[in-house]
Structure 1
Amino acid sequence: MSLSTDSPSQTANFDLEALNQKYDTAHPRDILAWCVENIPTGLVQTSAFNVDDIVITDILYRELKHPVPVMFLDTLHHFPQTLELVGKLKEQYNLDLKIYKTPDIDTREAFTAKHGEALWDKDISQFHQITKIEPLQRGLAELNAIAWLTGRRRDQANTRQYMNIFELDGKQRLKVNPIASWTRKETWAYVAEHKVIYNPLHDQGYPSIGDEPITTPVAEGEDERAGRWRGTGKTECGIHI
């Protein structure tokens, strides 16, 4: 059954249990092909331009030849390597790139002037609310998203090991994790096979790349996401709760 209305509530027409049984270990290409076929409008990819996100974009744009809006949350605190990569990929794929950020603030200096020095140290949940959660929800609403794609994998962290391929978010939108069943090794095999460009920080001890002030390298044996918000006790920024 295809969805063609602009109401996220229409996702109730999908049998998530049956979909999860069918696609639990399917290739991301097959999952994305299902999305393209069954959600002709209202499909959005959310991307932090980590390597798993880029694999999804490559499948959509190069293999399936089905460009969808790619939403990037500009927190104003990204590594310069991340912003440079966004520009390269926008040109390479002719991305339908949608950038969302905190309203009326365009620089780190302006952010500090409004919210104080190092807000992430004083209240990291508020920092994420301002820079990620609010812009994400605003973006999904403005793009009339019925379904959105994430780059999460089950083996990234213990908190993600039971993640389904198909979920509903708090607004009853379909939330699809097409690469969930893949391992880190499978992602990098795809990158090598298809010569996918990626953030050079991945080669410098950063398997998961977020905001520059609160992302650290990861030691051998740690979860991929151990370098995100180290010492805060957080395992997610709030987008995927």
Structure 2
Amino acid sequence: MTVSIAFDLDRLNQQFETATPKEILAWSIENVPIGLVQTSAFNVDDLVITHILYTELKHPVPVIFLDTLYHFPQTLELVAKAKEIYNLDLQTYKTPDLDSRKAFAAKYGEALWDEDITKFHQITKIEPLLRGLQELNTTAWITGRRRDQAVTRANMPIFELDNLGRLKVNPIAASTRKDSWGYVAEHGVIYNPLHDQGYPSIGDEPITTKVADGEDERAGRWRGTAKTECGIHI
């Protein structure tokens, strides 16, 4: 199914280049009244967006979380805490018919990410996400990506289309890591304690490592490989 979004992206990106995340999200709420969702890995940037939507704009939207079965325990605890605090409309998607690491390993091997990282992400992230977007009748989805997270994201627009014609909104594209943490400090936003332990970007436990001073904040994702994205945003 292809979703048609009739927006002038060039004009929108020019108009909102210097806008605040709140202004970008407010525009999205007004102009996408049906089918607006947030995708969240519950990293600090995602929670900044959730806080703006649920607390400042008071406009709860469905929040898609992909349970890969390999998240850190701290991440799952944070998801539960955020659901309670914000009364989140949480929509969790995972690999069908599998509910544990043991079941996943029995079907796909003990370390599929080492054997075929692309297949691992297709099974645990891409397929569940696409299914979730479709089941929620999504016309636009909000991401927590920033340009300064990695060189591969340096030219990311605020508004873009995915390959099915859905609008993708990147409200903090022009923000910085310092901006996100400043917002957290000002508004008391909850965050993953792993961020204080050398993990600026948190993915699946077996393939996320600590980041050293001077490295890109996403350097700890898929370390030792040439991979820079899981495939969701390609």
The match for 2:145 is 152
TM-score by length of 2: 0.99
Offset at residue 7 of structure 1 (A): 6.9
The match for 2:189 is 196
**Which residues of structure 2 form unaligned runs of 5+?**
none
The one-character-per-residue Cα deviations of 1:181-229 (angstroms, maximum 9, x if unpaired) are 0000010000000000100000000000000000000000000100001
Which AA in structure 2 matches 1:203?
D
Q: Does the 8 Å CA contact 2:2/2:165 hold for their aligned counterparts?
A: no
Q: 2:175 aligns to what SS in structure 1?
A: coil
| Count of matched residue pairs | 234
Equivalent of 2:34 in 17, 35, 41: 41
Q: Does the 8 Å CA contact 2:158/2:169 hold for their aligned counterparts?
A: yes
Moved over 4 A (4+): none
The one-character-per-residue Cα deviations of 1:69-94 (angstroms, maximum 9, x if unpaired) are 00000000000000000000000000
Offset at residue 24 of structure 1 (A): 1.3
Which AA in structure 2 matches 1:176?
V
1:7-156 aligned within 5 A? 8-9=3-4, 11=5, 13-156=6-149
User: How many Å separate the matches in 2 of 1:82 and 1:236?
Assistant: 19
TM-score by length of 1: 0.96
Which AA in structure 2 matches 1:142?
E
Q: 2:121 aligns to what SS in structure 1?
A: helix
User: How many Å separate the matches in 1 of 2:12 and 2:87?
Assistant: 31
The match for 1:3 is none
The match for 1:166 is 159
User: How many Å separate the matches in 1 of 2:18 and 2:29?
Assistant: 18
User: How many Å separate the matches in 2 of 1:103 and 1:86?
Assistant: 20
User: How many Å separate the matches in 1 of 2:84 and 2:207?
Assistant: 28
Q: 2:203 aligns to what SS in structure 1?
A: coil
Q: Does the 8 Å CA contact 2:2/2:164 hold for their aligned counterparts?
A: no
Which AA in structure 1 matches 2:67?
D
Q: Does the 8 Å CA contact 2:25/2:53 hold for their aligned counterparts?
A: yes
**Which residues of structure 1 form unaligned runs of 5+?**
1-5
Q: 1:78 aligns to what SS in structure 2?
A: coil
Q: 1:227 aligns to what SS in structure 2?
A: coil
Q: 1:126 aligns to what SS in structure 2?
A: helix
Offset at residue 25 of structure 1 (A): 2.3
Q: Does the 8 Å CA contact 1:28/1:179 hold for their aligned counterparts?
A: yes
User: How many Å separate the matches in 1 of 2:102 and 2:225?
Assistant: 24
Q: Does the 8 Å CA contact 1:7/1:146 hold for their aligned counterparts?
A: no
